[in-house]
Structure 1
Amino acid sequence: MENIKNIILDLGGVLINLDYDKVNDELGKLGLANAFTKSNQIDLFDNYEEGKISEKTFLNRFNQLAAVDHSHNKIIQAWNSILLDFPADRLTMINQLRDKYKVFLYSNTNFTHMKAVNSILQREHSLENLNGYFDKVYLSHELGIRKPKPQGFKHILKTNNLVPKETLFIDDSPQHIEGAMQAGIYAEWLDLEKEDLKDALTRLSLI
């Protein structure tokens, strides 16, 4: 990793802890079982994460698919149940990385989840958001592109004048690793069953 000058980090699973079993259970109770998993999800979630539909439209279409008239707050509570805590040591690690590298965030996410993430950051760390921790934050619903589409990675490279072979991407979803590699970026899969971010950064001699 001696040639690496830039690092792109994922958010969910890599920085903030997630619970896919919990969210699947909660969404299932509302009538959409197995609609959102780590490896696959229905078009409703894809469209929301690419900013193609508003939060209100997302919630209304959720009810249409579930064939039930749930309150919007009930859906939001179930949808946000995937989000757990944001360990303080991961913020410290980002700062350590920025001493040596340009560091970017690229997350498949949506308006609802980012409101909840920022609430967690405020509650746990008195932070409004993550903007101050990265050279640039890229969120799929703002960018209009979800991982693993290579176009998202190419956009980040181009707009920041980054050299692909000097750039490393770290994500806990194997399919996203493939997209980064198609864009010419070095990519490292973070297997959360075996290691966390600190383990991976240490193994790669990045911190």
Structure 2
Amino acid sequence: MDDAGTRGAVLFDFGGVLTTSVVVAFEELGTELADEPKLLLRLLSKDVESSALLVAHEEGRIGEREFETGFAARLRAHGAAVAGPGLVRGLQERLRPDPDMIALVARVRSQGHRVGLLSNSLGDDCYAGFDLPAMFDAVTVSGEIGVRKPSRRAYEIACRRLGARPGDTVMVDDLPQNIAAADRLGIAGVVHRDAAATEAELARLLAPPAGT
């Protein structure tokens, strides 16, 4: 349900949307740490203890150091000789800003649409280098609100902060499961792959700028 050409607000994810690929960053780190690109993502998605650590950290119930310590122990249990400190920093160093997407956020906003950030946080300082309050009309971060995507509550809070109804909003995210969750609330979704394709899809979904 996208109601093409009628929507007036956009929620953008952070990692993998405003930055280079999170998946690639995890794979590069896995290769460096254990010569196994898929190891970190496999544990975070399939290993119960690793997944619980990630959820607790993204929801703000444990800090970066506690997450790193616990996740390093799970990595060691799977054969990787890894120390905890520096795991999150190693991932963040592999995420680079995507200037085309940063420009797109500004362009969408300049056209009169409200723009917000809805991000699952990873790390105590994962947004360093980004002036989020200057870029967005509203910023919603999982570690601050105590709930993460794909929880319905996360989208509801983000829309309320943005001052937009779900049915008037588009979500841009690199993970299809987060788009599917948004759709259940009536939020139209764009699965991000590159700036050009995302801009084309937003042009289809958003109402034309006033005066055009």
Q: Distance in 1 between matches of 2:57 and 2:119?
A: 13
Tell me how far 1:152 sits from its aligned partner: 0.5
2:99 maps to which of 88, 93, 100: 88
Residue in 2 that maps onto 1:135: 137
Q: Distance in 1 between matches of 2:52 and 2:93?
A: 20
Is the Cα–Cα contact under 8 Å of residues 36 and 45 in structure 1 kept in the other structure?
no
Residue in 1 that maps onto 2:196: 198
In structure 1, give the amino acid aligned to 2:173.
Answer: D
Q: Distance in 2 between matches of 1:14 and 1:183?
A: 21
Partner of 1:24, secondary structure, is helix
Residue in 2 that maps onto 1:34: 39
Residue in 2 that maps onto 1:53: 62
Q: Distance in 1 between matches of 2:103 and 2:201?
A: 17
Aligned residues: 189
**What TM-score results when the alignment is normalised by the length of structure 2?**
0.76
Q: Distance in 2 between matches of 1:112 and 1:151?
A: 22
Residue in 1 that maps onto 2:28: 22
Is the Cα–Cα contact under 8 Å of residues 15 and 87 in structure 1 kept in the other structure?
yes
Unaligned runs of 5+ in 1: 122-127
Tell me how far 1:27 sits from its aligned partner: 5.0
Provide the aligned C-alpha RMSD in A: 2.7
1:177 and 1:33, CA in 2 relative to 1: closer, same or farther beyond 3 A?
A: closer
**What TM-score results when the alignment is normalised by the length of structure 1?**
0.78
1:34 and 1:188, CA in 2 relative to 1: closer, same or farther beyond 3 A?
A: same
The answer to whether structure 1 residue 108 and structure 2 residue 114 are counterparts is no
In structure 1, give the amino acid aligned to 2:9.
Answer: N
Q: Distance in 2 between matches of 1:4 and 1:147?
A: 21
Tell me how far 1:107 sits from its aligned partner: 1.2
